[in-house]
Structure 1
């Protein structure tokens, strides 16, 4: 927001400092009235009236008669005591049971704070319990009030995105994404997928083939023998196999990048009755869902680690975790639930 558009009103006052309290005490000893002192000090008379009340203490004269007088240090001490007790009381004690649930879901199940809050608000088990908002939860993590720390939140540690590059020397293997139906862009219909590969070591290693459905965020993962066109073809046949009965409804379009491993994808799509589209060179943002899901996979399969070191059971666990993770964009439903409802005729 520009300064000219700022709607925040600045404070026009400041608290009395030690020097100002000493000045106030001196004026009182001179016998000046509060209104006269207020004009000299440039303060509101009510401010000085409250300060006098804070710092006034009862004393005894030599004849043991009580009298009242103002002391600057007494006013400062009462002021500090009041400041210690100011502000709203913490609501963390009310959320103690929920915070234990939060720590379990973040540390064990790798959920984000937003997902935990959104899921709990829809879960009957937590109805009637105090659930803080996601921003409050992040604030408590930053302040160190939970055993969860920022190192446990992968997305908070990501580096700044790279600058966009504009290059025209990359080969396009088929129909451009510009010819894709607008309904695919708006995610109005189901059956439109994004495809990519995830590599381990940069050479002499297996790879992963990933498909993500744009509307439901359903994720499919399979192992590839290598990062080449023939391996991609075999991997797709593996992913297509469980959906033979509803193949035409489940797989309508696939959008890929211009990697050499997808050079035969257009021909494969024609055989399978699937429209294939290719994004612009160096425009990974055009397949944002796939890039986002690859980031989730990297929580479990680190860069530089060999894919063959992970068992098939581990890959299935990763796929199941992604499909059972409640998503804010799905109203905190899981991709599995939304996908199953869509193809059962209920959605």
Structure 2
């Protein structure tokens, strides 16, 4: 059957029998007709009800290399706006459909599972509780040669390998290596609100020096408690704002205000003076003796506004990381001082994106070295 001339309107595509996510054979026929008529990609997309990027990507991926026998002398007009990667290629709808059909079959072997060396690299660092983003940056650092492209993946590829492909016991083993320990992805939930627990006058975070807010000067700390089973045990956490260095407070006999005060004093006094400029805490009643702490150490305590945990963002993030070591609903009093020190050392040895992939231990060492 002869094709309609370029002056005749092309028939509208019939609805695809498959998923609307994929272009149909009729849609590809229309794209080919409109391309010969020098219609712009945006106009084609509007006619099909698709995104312009969908049409551009289709032409780029599924065009056929042009041979000398198929090359025409018709000049290309600027209105066609062909993607650069499709220059010197012809869009043939039946060949495009065949390419798309060949590309579609599932399941496909994922890159991580197809390359044992890559899988071992990722698994080793998951066992050390590295995040997928930290692992991907390490791959770029350890394998900079473009010839080793197989050793590069995106963070989402790692997440997909864990959340999508893993099943049964394998999924449980893999998800325990993630910081959240979740077997499936969940949207973020609003942080639990806290209420003021004491009336004693407080220095509010709005009074904190500007040097603490912009992290320009080291020595400003954020602190909090992570609570154990039935609110009966706790571990104190301290994070230095500039370096993200973590220190943990051992509270084996409970979180009474006197015990928290004594643990804070003992920990802060191990630091040099230039690294003890301030402490920021929430309004939990464990800090009701903050005045005595300040007298003993010379470190002022600034309190966050009610229901504002983001004002201690570094500490909140760290507490989330620590929950992989100290799960909710467990007795935190069973952990020894030595175990807390080992956990803090492991966290401080992790490279951080916010530190330009240095570790907190490296940054603190620079501050302590004359």
TM-score by length of 2: 0.65
- Distance in structure 1 (CA, Å) of the matches to 2:35 and 2:246: 68
SS of structure 2 residue aligned to 1:282: coil
Task: After TM superposition, give the deviation of residue 221 of structure 1 in Å.
Answer: 0.5
Structure 1 residue 112: deviation in Å?
0.9
SS of the residue corresponding to residue 296 of structure 1 reads helix
In structure 1, how many angstroms separate the alpha carbons of the residues matched to 2:97 and 2:30? 21
Partner of 1:325: 350
CA displacement at 1:167 relative to structure 2: 7.0
Which of 229, 232, 237 pairs up with 1:210?
237
Alignment partner of 2:139 out of 114, 120, 123: 120
Partner of 2:24: none
Q: Is the 8 A contact 2:268 2:297 kept in 1?
A: no
Match of 1:105 in 2: 125
- Match 2:211 to one of 173, 176, 183: 183
Does the 8 Å CA contact 1:183/1:189 hold for their aligned counterparts?
A: yes
Secondary structure of the residue aligned to 1:138 is helix
Aligned length in residues: 283
Aligned to 1:238: 266
Inter-CA distance 202–188: structure 2 relative to 1 (3 Å threshold): same
Deviation at 1:278, TM superposition (A): 1.1
State the SS of the aligned residue for 2:264.
helix
Contact 1:34–1:45 (8 Å) recurs in 2: no
> Which sits farther off after the overlay, 267-276 or 332-341?
267-276
Do the aligned partners of 1:257 and 1:279 also contact (CA within 8 Å) in 2?
yes
Distance in 2, matches of 1:240 and 1:48, equals 73
Deviations 1:266-289 (A, max 9, x none): 332133221221111222111111
- Unaligned runs of 5+ residues in structure 1 are 1-27, 51-74
**SS across alignment from 1:190:** coil
- C-alpha distance in 1, partners of 2:31/2:120? 51
RMSD: 3.7
Mark the runs of 5 or more structure 2 residues left unpaired by the alignment.
13-28, 37-91
Q: 1:336 to 1:242 in 2, by over 3 A?
A: same
Aligned 8 A contact 1:34 1:49 in 2: no
Counterpart-to-counterpart distance in 1, 2:247 and 2:5:
79
Does residue 309 (structure 1) correspond to residue 279 (structure 2)? The answer is no
| Partners of 2:221 and 2:31 in 1: CA distance | 70
- For 1:13-45, what per-residue CA distance to the aligned partner results, in whole angstroms no more than 9, with x for missing partners? xxxxxxxxxxxxxxx2xxxx2125974635659
2:220 to 182, 192, 195: 192
Structure 1 residue 313 displacement after superposition: 3.0
d(CA) in 1 for partners of 2:192 and 2:226?
A: 21
Contact 2:198/2:288 (8 A) holds in 1: no
Q: Which residue of 2 aligns with 1:222?
A: 249
| 1:1-347 matches, cutoff 5 A | 28=1, 33-35=2-4, 39=9, 41-42=11-12, 46-47=32-33, 81-86=98-103, 92=111, 96-106=116-126, 108-122=127-141, 125-128=142-145, 129-130=148-149, 131-144=152-165, 152-155=177-180, 157=185, 159-162=187-190, 171=199, 173-203=201-231, 205-224=232-251, 225-243=253-271, 246=272, 248-345=273-370
1:195·1:290 contact (CA, 8 Å) conserved in 2?
yes
Give 1 or 2 for the bigger CA radius of gyration.
1
Q: Distance in 2 between matches of 1:298 and 1:169?
A: 24
Cα distance between partner residues in 1 of 2:300 and 2:195? 26
CA distance in 2, matches of 1:46, 1:294: 57
Q: 3-state SS of the aligned residue for 2:341?
A: helix
1:140 Cα deviation from its structure 2 partner:
4.6
| Contact 1:172 1:278 (C-alpha < 8 Å) held by counterparts | no
